[in-house]
Amino acid sequence: MQFDIIGVGAYVLYGNYMNFRLFFLHLLMGITLIGLSGCAKYKAQSLHALITSPKVDKSLSFEYKIFTVDDCKKYLGRNVIAKGYQPIHITFVNNTNRYITISHKNFSFPCARVQEVAEAVHTNTTARAIGYGVTSLLLWPFIIPAIVDSIGSEKANEKLNVDFAYKVLRNQIVKPNSTVSGIVFAVCDDFDENFTITIIDNQSKKAYVLTPENNTLQI
């Protein structure tokens, strides 16, 4: 009888040990999977006004830079060109006493909405999360990276939305003796490097056309 009790006790202790070992292995697996899940992030450098030519009195001028893939990754954190959008960085200088209106509709190419571009490059981990979720039905640690991926993607996309909205060149009235800068997005198939920008004098309603070759006008 005594040996039976000892045997049962040993069996229980062994069972507890195996359960603890299994739990520890699952926990270790979960921690490892978090490290391998590739949690989505958004990181991009600040955008500054382009260096412009020396100011000419009573002039309107602009500088521009057509983004490369490297520029996209550096300043937008994503390769938007791969999604069909060409970013162009514009810096506009109003060195006059006039109020000047600039608008996306006055570029010679159609400007894509910044929300449309941002959504095109959102991080999507749905397929990976589904894979983790299905696997977690058999091995519960796989639910951990699924949750981490989902939360990480949501935060990265929110940060991307805010940054894109901040960096886009807005429709606006440019005050006298001031400079504005930002990005416009063109659909790659519709973009021509020999583009034009039509700006409007708010008082006289007169239109002026700027081009890459003739980027300064005196008025």
Record the tokens describing residue 24, joined without a space.
């520890």
Q: How confident is the model at residue 60 (pLDDT cuts 50, 70, 90)?
A: very high
| Domain range annotation of the chain | 37-218
pLDDT at residue 95 above 90?
Answer: yes
pLDDT at residue 194 above 60?
Answer: yes
pLDDT at residue 157 above 50?
Answer: yes
Q: Specify the higher pLDDT residue, 30 or 115.
A: 115
pLDDT at residue 219 above 50?
Answer: yes
- The whole-number pLDDT of residue 118 equals 97
Cα 100 from Cα 208, distance rounded (Å): 10
Distances (CA, A) of 24 to 35, 143, 144, 159, 206: 17, 16, 15, 36, 75
Quick check: pTM over 0.85?
no
**Tokens 């570029």 sit at which residue?**
107
pLDDT at residue 117 above 70?
Answer: yes
- Sign of torsion over alpha carbons 121, 126, 129, 135: negative
